Structure 1
Amino acid sequence: MLFLFQDPLGDAHGLAYLYPQAALYREAGEGYADLTALAGEVREGELVLKLRLARYPNPLGGPLGFSLATALVYLDLAPGGEEALLPGLRTPPGQGWEAAFVVTGFGVERKSPEGKREAVGAWREGEWVVWSTGLPPGEYGYYGAVGLFDPFAPWYLRPVSPEGGAWVLGAPLGMPPVVDVLALRPEDPRAAYQEGVLRPLRPKRFALEAPSLAAFGLGALSLVLAFLLGRKGR
């Protein structure tokens, strides 16, 4: 496994968002839009992503085994990129995205900043939703968010309104239409909603490669110096 990001359990409420009041949502209970983990693997030289939700109710019969949530995973592949994630949510300057994956119970689509969409292969492996990215593994940054599935809305996300309602989220105008964002610490999502900036997660493996090589080099240098000093002392 290349990386595993685990998101805190039970934080799928935005900034005290009100969930839609239609019976479909009330009967589903809680946790169906709660992102708990995002992982990456290399399979046959390709980056494969895996996403896990807390629960998978499926009242609409989605072929991937769930139907009430929409998850978005954005990849920062290179410097620059598109900094707008969703209304009310953006990336830090210079850390925009070049590829996004829209994950629903009815399939996974890859989306470009220009709006181009294409379906990608997706399947279930136990509690994980898995899909092919078509990308080689690399030193990427990852943004993740989960909202409620709407087949007719942009990004397949139900919108927000101050009053809430049967089929919309109750939240102040200008807030992003997602109830959970990918973060490692419980305090990070609140900062993202308040500031309107979501920070990327980056696998530590890549960040540690350079220090590890440096440590190896210093260790080798120490051995050489010890050998030379030992010879000099003879």
Structure 2
Amino acid sequence: MLFLFQDPLGDDHGLAYLYPQAALYREAGEGYADLLAVAGEAREGRLFLKVRLARYPNPLEGPLGFSLATVLLWLDTAEGGEETLLPGLRTPEGQGWEEAFLLTGFGAERRTPKGEKTPVRAFREGEWVVLDTGLPPGRYGLYGAVGLFDPFAPLYLRPSSPEGGPWTLAAPPGSPPVVDLLAEKPSDQVRAYETGVLQPARKGFALRRESLLAFALGGVSLLLAFLLRR
């Protein structure tokens, strides 16, 4: 595994968002838009992203085994990039994204800042939903968010409004239409909603480098011990 970023359980309510009131959502219970983790693996020379949600109700019979959530992942793969993630949410200055991936229970798409979209392969592995980015593994910045699935919206996200409704999130004016953000601590998520700036997840890539260094140093130590005994 290249990296693993975890997100707190039960924080899928934005800034006191209220879920739509249609029976579809009431009957589904809670947790279907609660992001628990995003991981990355190198397979066949490409980066595969893995997403874990708290629950996977599937009333719309999505082929990937869920149908009420939309997961958005953005990768910062180069300098500069697009700094707008969603209406009401952006990246820090100079840390924009170059590649985005939309994942629903009905498949996955790769998006560019210009709006170009290409289908990508997605599949289930137990409790994980996996997608093939087609990109080489690298030390990228990662942004993540989860909203409610809307097949007719440009980003497959149900909109928000101050008053909410049967099919609309109730949220403060100007809030992004997502209920959970990839953030290490609840306070980090609250800060992102309040400021409109989401910090990228990068620590996992650094941990991977440090782990490899520690492994290499351990190997050198074992070799020296072996030579000294001789």
Q: With the length of structure 1 as denominator, give the TM-score of the two structures.
A: 0.89
Tell me which residue corresponds to 2:4.
4
Tell me which residue corresponds to 2:82.
82
Q: Percent identity?
A: 71
- Distance in 1 (CA, whole Å) between partners of 2:38 and 2:207 is 18
- TM-aligned CA deviation for residue 209 of structure 1: 3.8
Does 2:87 align with 1:55?
no
Matched to 1:102, the amino acid is L
Alignment of 1:13-24 (within 5 A): 13-24=13-24
Matched to 1:128, the amino acid is W
Post-superposition Cα deviations, 1:136-160, rounded to whole Å, max 9, x if no partner, equal 0001000000000000112100000
- Distance in 1 (CA, whole Å) between partners of 2:14 and 2:200 is 18
User: Using a 3 Å threshold, how does the CA distance of structure 1 residues 205 and 196 change in structure 2: closer, same or farther?
Assistant: closer
Tell me which residue corresponds to 1:168.
168
- Distance in 2 (CA, whole Å) between partners of 1:210 and 1:40 is 16
- Distance in 1 (CA, whole Å) between partners of 2:186 and 2:196 is 16
Cα RMSD after superposing both structures: 1.9
**Structure 2: segments with no counterpart, 5+ residues:** 225-230
- Distance in 2 (CA, whole Å) between partners of 1:205 and 1:132 is 18
- TM-aligned CA deviation for residue 210 of structure 1: 7.7
Post-superposition Cα deviations, 1:126-180, rounded to whole Å, max 9, x if no partner, equal 0000010000000100000000000011210000011110000001221000000
- Distance in 1 (CA, whole Å) between partners of 2:161 and 2:49 is 32
- Distance in 1 (CA, whole Å) between partners of 2:152 and 2:57 is 20
Post-superposition Cα deviations, 1:97-149, rounded to whole Å, max 9, x if no partner, equal 00000000000000000000010001000000001000000010000000000
- Number of equivalent positions: 218
Tell me which residue corresponds to 1:138.
138
User: Using a 3 Å threshold, how does the CA distance of structure 1 residues 49 and 207 change in structure 2: closer, same or farther?
Assistant: same
Does 2:218 align with 1:179?
no
Matched to 1:138, the amino acid is G
- Distance in 2 (CA, whole Å) between partners of 1:208 and 1:37 is 17
